[in-house]
Structure formats: structure tokens, C-alpha cells
Structure 1
Amino acid sequence: MDSLNLTRMLAATDQTPYSMESPDGLKYDTPFMKRQESLINNRFQSDVTFLVGEKRQPIYAHKLLLIIASEYFNAMFNGNFKESSSDEIEVRDIEADIFLEILRFIYCGKVRLTIENVLEIYVHAQKYMLNELRRRTVRFLEKHIDADNALKIFAQNRLYEFSFINEKCLALIRKNPLVYFHHEDFYVLDRKSLEIIFASKKINCTDEQLFQALRDWKKINEHEYVSELQSVISAKRSYNCSKLRFFGNMSKTEHTDLKFSIDYTHSLAFFGIGVFIKSPESVVTVEVEIAENLEILGRHRFEYENKDYSAVNVANLFFEELTLRPGDWYTISVKFSSELDCFTITNPQICHDKLKLFFDSNYNTIRSVVSHFYCDEIKK
């Protein structure tokens, strides 16, 4: 049939060549990527079958598409390997759902990444020398690791120990550890992950809070021995934030509430305070209430182990991260349950080239038992 008669016939039936379906069910009026995606695990013109995972699930593929996408597959099918002449290839180190996502990327540049599968896809992207897929998984992780899933991803990474994942997760955990110590994922954390966290050289909590976290974890993981973990906690460390020290005249006098506002270009992440303590008691209970205007942001109770009765000590008290916004007014109230000699700073000041603190009080003179803040700026 010549082209003129074909055109007339199609016009009479209101069809175009791209609207016809082949005997194999292929549709020619779909976009290119759709057609490519339809070939994933499709017997049509398949010339290799992968037997995937422990169940040896058959997955059909096309050598040409694999060869032009990956040096790994190019070497497999064109090198001196038995796979080059085999129609069936066993792949035991990957599950079928992950292998299909690898094929999806090879065939049409798509991949369905989730928190649950991204690490395994990253591993096999490296194995199959799919550099763009590997970069895509890294971008996904950098974007999606957050406070809610940092512990889970950190624990999953024990199988792989990718440094960039450890760094991202540990940065979140070390910044605000008390949130994570009460997270449901903490109690099912493996011992190795727990040891890495406890071995942190900088973390925003006290040793006692680390010991309490270990005791809480031990209640769920009764079979685990924790003596080595206790030794890790006892190692010297510092805090993962800045110390904003107050200056002024120090005297022995009753303290007032500390009401303040910040003047700064950024909000502050607020992690804790230092409090003056001089007491004959071996354990001093300190109650701290933090309010924004009339709203209570947090009430905290601390048991401070007083090791030196003769000196004025500073109790470092850490709580879950709070955000201090410029222009808002905050009040810190401190109460002690036992008798002590109260030492304060009169009309406290700070030394900072950009940050300013404004203090307000119902008293003529501010006498603060708070010696310093633990905080950091929050980048915009």
C-alpha cells in the first residue's frame, strides 16, 4: 500500500499511526518516558532474566539498556564473565523491590526514594556504578534527615557506616540530645549506636543526663551489659553550643526572676543555664520555669550533686532546646528546695559584639542567680 492510500485509510477511520496498539499491547501514543517505564520487568523483547534475592524472584530486563547506563553491566555482558553468555543471572545481595528501583532509574531516570529504602539504594547505586543515582540518594538524605527520623537513620547506618550520614544525624542528636533520649526510637537503639552517641566529645547535656538515658535504655534492653558504656560516659567532654556569660558584681543576697529580651539578627537556640549554688546539702533540688510573656515554655526539676560544700559552685542545667526570638520577653524563675547561701550577680551584663540583652524587673535592682546561658544562633 502506498503512503497516499495509507493516509486516506487512516483519515477515513479517524486514526493516526501513533494511536494503534501492537499485538504485544504496546501503546504508541504515550510519552517516551511512559513507554520506557512500561519495559521494566517486561518479558517483551527481554534478553536476560535476573533471579533476585533469597527467593530468586525472576525480573526481566534488556541488556542494551543496562549496558548504555552502567559500566558495571557493560563489563558484565561484554567481558569474559559467565554472565555475558547467560540468559539467567542470580543476584542474591539485593531484594526484588530495591532491584526494581534500580531498573526504574536505568530505564527512565526515575526512582522512588523513601527513608526506609534510600540507604540500600545508595549501596547498590555504588555497586552498579550509577553515579547520578548515588548523588540523588545523597541529596534526598540531606533534605529528609530531620529530628523525627535522625535516630532511625543513624541506627540503619550501622550496616553501612557512611560518614556523611553519621555526621548529619549526630549533628542533630548532639545539639538537642534530651529530645532524642525520650524518643521511642532511642529505646530500641543498638548498643553500637548508643556508644557512638555517648562517646561524643561535645553534646548538650550533663553526664548525669547521659547516665539517666543509659538507665532508661537498660530497662528495655535488660540483657545488655552497660559497664563499658558507663566508662564511655565518664570520659571528659564539653558542650556543643556557646556559653554566654553574665558579668557584674557578685554578692550574697536573695535573687529575683530574670526577665529579658534579646536584640539580635537571628533567633537563639536556648539549651541551658548555669546557676550559682552554695549549700551544705549533698544533693540540691533546683526547679526552673521558663516563660514567654505569660506562656509557660517549660518546667524542669534537677537534682544537682553538690561535691564541694565550701565553695560557690555552678550547676549546669540543660533542657530540651527552646527558641528565643528577638523582641519577645522571657522570664526565668529559679527555686531551690533546700536551704543554701544565695549568691547572685547584680544587674548582669554580657560581652558580645552584636547580641544585646535587655533586662526588666519589678525590682529596682536585678539580682540574678543565673550565671550564664548555653545557646547558639539559629541561621536563617
Structure 2
Amino acid sequence: MANQGQGDPVLGYNGSATDRKEGLVNNEFMSDVVFLVGEKGQRIHAHKLFLIAASEYFYVMFNGNFRESVANEIVLEDIEPAIFLEIMRFVYCGKIVLTFENIHEIYIHSRKYMLMELLNMASDFLEKNIEPDNALKIFTQNRFYGFQFVDEKCLRMISNNPLYFFNHEDFATIDRESLSLILGSKKINCTDDQLLGAMDIWEKTHEKESVDELRAVIKNAKRSYDCYKLRMFGPSSSSEPSDFGFSITSETTVNMYGIGVYIKSCAAVISVELKIWENDIEIGCDLFEYENENFLTVDVANLFFEQIVLKPHHRYRISLNITPAVEPFTIQNPKMHHDRIKMSIANVVYGRCDSMFCAIAHLHCKERQHKAIKQNT
């Protein structure tokens, strides 16, 4: 640990070279400069040789035509003592403790002091520690840092499972630019209506902001889904739909984000209650209000929800409750084709598919990567 202004050296000769250097942090022994740090001017002792060796900033400070080059005391009011000591520890021995609480100040002052290795460490820290629970906060903070890779990683995470993030407590507090980047995503697993709903959530905590431009971003952006459709094939039928039961028979874990449902109705607005079971345990439930614009033909309603992870050899069941009742349109004995994802689709009551009528047109999903983010399992 750093020595807080002790007069006697505590070098610990039985320790490592790194430990001995760390023992010189804020140590009066052979110190040739004192920094008065923070508003209260806390005295922190330093050694010019360590500073000059670490940074061109300090080289110029102590060897240029500046008053600091001959001063024994240097005032630093723009940094907290704890942050400065952390940076000094890195300068002396290469050690640093990075946290989400100090990363912002560490980044500012490591850039000021031209400590490029520490800047790289700060960026690595951000990249390695982006998780679903902090992605929105880091994404917003990155408006200051400007790391492209941070934006890319956060946006990939958000666009993959947007409804999780729209419901997150941090979503309402993100800045306008960050929101605009999300709304303008070229690929995202939700509908335009759900994007508008997310914007409404944000607007409630930013009442003074004009959102017309943001609505235009949603309306005018050309986007697609960040997944693909597993289409169902089979002869069409006018029978009443039954629950859709299936299991993954390949060794492929699948992320599911939504389904397409056949709709044939004269009603302007249709409510669809969706429930998903895994081995008879309910793992998903949602209610959708679908604006029906195609009265004269069968339409497909794309219903997106928070990511559901489908595991190999587990039984799943999807049930639909549609009101008002729609004219039946189903696929008999549905089948699905994919090179790597193999499904067994069966009647969930009798274990057979010869009497199954499915109102589901497709599943919105994709294969789960080995290092995928755990958001809803």
C-alpha cells in the first residue's frame, strides 16, 4: 500500500521489485516534488524520475520552460486525491484498481497525463465488463469516451434483446444521443410499435425534450430483425389451432425472440395473449395489441418478446388466446427446415402430429453463440 507521507523508507527488501516501487508512492524518502491535490490541497509526495519515465506530459512539465520545472510544490485542484494516488501507483509499479466508480476520472486524467498504457487498460476494462445489467449505463457514458468498440458491443447486445433493455431501470435515464443510436439500429429484434413504446418510456423522464425528430428516426429508418425466421410448412387448414409443442432434437441451443401468427379478422384491433412453457413450467407470458389493417386476407402478426433460450431436448409449448375470435387459418402437421437446427414438432396431448393444427407461421430466432449473453434463461 502507498505510504502516506512517512519520513522513513518502507522499501521491504524481502519483497518483490514491484512491491518496493509501490512502497515509494506518496513516500517522503528522496521525494523531490509535492503535489497539492484537490480542493483541500492534500500533500502527496512524488519522485520526478518516475513521473518523467512514465509520461511525456511530466517530462515537459519538469524539463520545459514552465514554473513547475523549478517549483517544489505543484497545485492540482482538478483531481481527487484518491484518483491521483491510484494513477501514481500505476506510474510507479504498473498496478491499478479500476472500477465503474473511478473509470471516468481515471480515463480523463490518464489522457491528460498522456499515460497511453493506462488508457488502453481503461478501454479493456470497459470491454470486458460490459454485461446486460450495466450495458445501458456504459453505453451512455461512452458518449464521453468515444470508444467505437464499446458502442458496437453495447448496440449488438441491445439490438439482440431490446425488450429486456427497454424494461430496464436504466433505460429512462440514457441521453438523447444514445437513444437515437438505438432507435436508428439497422437490425433490432422488435417492431416499430415497440420502438415507439420505448421512446414513450424515455419521454416521461425527459418531458422538456422534443421527440418529433426521434419519431422520424423510427419512421424513416430501414431496418430488419437481428435474427432469422424458422418458417413453418404444411398444408393450410381452416381448423381451430391447438397449442404448438416442440423440442430441439439437435445439440443446438437457440435464442427465440418472437413468433409470426396467422390473423384473419374484420376487427380493427386484436388482442393476442401468448404463453410459453418449458416442461410444463411457464417461462414467458405477454399480451399484444395488434392493429389489423388487412381485413380481406390472411395477415401474419409479428409478436416479439424478451429473449427465450431454447435448450436441446427440452419440451416447449406455445399457446395463443386471440380476442375477438378470428377466422381459423392454420397449417396442418407443420414442419420446419434448417441445416443445423432440428426440431421435433408434435401434438402436446397425444405426442403425435397427425392431428395438430398450428396458427404459428414462423419463429424469430437464431443459434446461440457459445459466449452469448445470459439475459433470460
TM-score normalised by the shorter chain: which range applies? Answer: 0.7 to 0.9
Counterparts of 1:266 and 1:72 in 2: how far apart (Å)? 53
Counterparts of 2:81 and 2:180 in 1: how far apart (Å)? 34
**Which of residues 1, 7, 10 in structure 2 aligns to 1:26?**
10
Q: How far did 1:56 drift? A: 5.0
Counterparts of 1:155 and 1:291 in 2: how far apart (Å)? 36
Provide the TM-score with structure 2 as the length reference: 0.88
Q: How far did 1:27 drift? A: 5.2
**Change in 2 beyond 3 A, CA 1:54/1:192:** farther
The aligned residue for residue 251 of structure 1 is 237
**Which of residues 51, 58, 74 in structure 2 aligns to 1:66?**
51
The aligned residue for residue 280 of structure 2 is 294
1:373 aligned to 2:357?
A: no
Counterpart residue identity of residue 145, structure 1: I
RMSD: 2.2
Provide the TM-score with structure 1 as the length reference: 0.87
**Change in 2 beyond 3 A, CA 1:313/1:148:** same
Counterparts of 1:272 and 1:55 in 2: how far apart (Å)? 57
Could you report, residue by residue, the CA deviation over 1:65-106 in whole angstroms, capped at 9, with x for unpaired residues? 111122332233233444333333344554433222211111
The aligned residue for residue 298 of structure 2 is 312
Could you report, residue by residue, the CA deviation over 1:138-189 in whole angstroms, capped at 9, with x for unpaired residues? 3222221100100111111122222111112111111111111111111222
1:111 aligned to 2:111?
A: no
Counterpart residue identity of residue 285, structure 1: S
| SS of corresponding position for 2:170 | helix
* Structure 1 stretch displaced more, 276-285 or 117-126: 117-126
Counterpart residue identity of residue 369, structure 1: A
| SS of corresponding position for 1:99 | helix
| SS of corresponding position for 1:153 | helix
Q: How far did 1:327 drift? A: 0.8
Q: How far did 1:372 drift? A: 0.9
The aligned residue for residue 136 of structure 2 is 151
**Change in 2 beyond 3 A, CA 1:163/1:51:** farther
Counterparts of 1:327 and 1:43 in 2: how far apart (Å)? 67
Counterpart residue identity of residue 26, structure 1: V
The aligned residue for residue 337 of structure 1 is 323
**Change in 2 beyond 3 A, CA 1:365/1:123:** farther
Alpha carbons 2:123, 2:147 under 8 Å: kept: no
The aligned residue for residue 266 of structure 1 is 252
1:136 aligned to 2:121?
A: yes
Alpha carbons 2:231, 2:363 under 8 Å: kept: yes
The aligned residue for residue 374 of structure 2 is none
Could you report, residue by residue, the CA deviation over 1:222-279 in whole angstroms, capped at 9, with x for unpaired residues? 2222222222221232111222222222233211111101133331111111111111
Alpha carbons 1:253, 1:344 under 8 Å: kept: yes
Q: How far did 1:206 drift? A: 1.1
Counterparts of 1:145 and 1:348 in 2: how far apart (Å)? 40
Taking every aligned residue pair, what percent have the same amino acid on both sides? Answer: 51
| SS of corresponding position for 2:217 | helix
* Structure 1 stretch displaced more, 299-308 or 50-59: 50-59
1:75 aligned to 2:60?
A: yes
Counterpart residue identity of residue 315, structure 1: A
Q: How far did 1:30 drift? A: 5.2
| SS of corresponding position for 2:334 | strand
The aligned residue for residue 44 of structure 1 is 29
Counterparts of 1:266 and 1:97 in 2: how far apart (Å)? 49
| SS of corresponding position for 1:100 | helix
Counterparts of 2:45 and 2:273 in 1: how far apart (Å)? 66
* Structure 1 stretch displaced more, 66-75 or 203-212: 66-75
**Change in 2 beyond 3 A, CA 1:23/1:200:** closer
Could you report, residue by residue, the CA deviation over 1:294-329 in whole angstroms, capped at 9, with x for unpaired residues? 110011100001112112111111111111001111
Q: Whose radius of gyration is greater, 1 or 2? A: 1
Could you report, residue by residue, the CA deviation over 1:99-145 in whole angstroms, capped at 9, with x for unpaired residues? 22211111121111112222442343344333332332232222211
Runs (5+) with no aligned partner, structure 2: 1-5, 371-377
Alpha carbons 2:235, 2:331 under 8 Å: kept: yes
The aligned residue for residue 9 of structure 1 is none
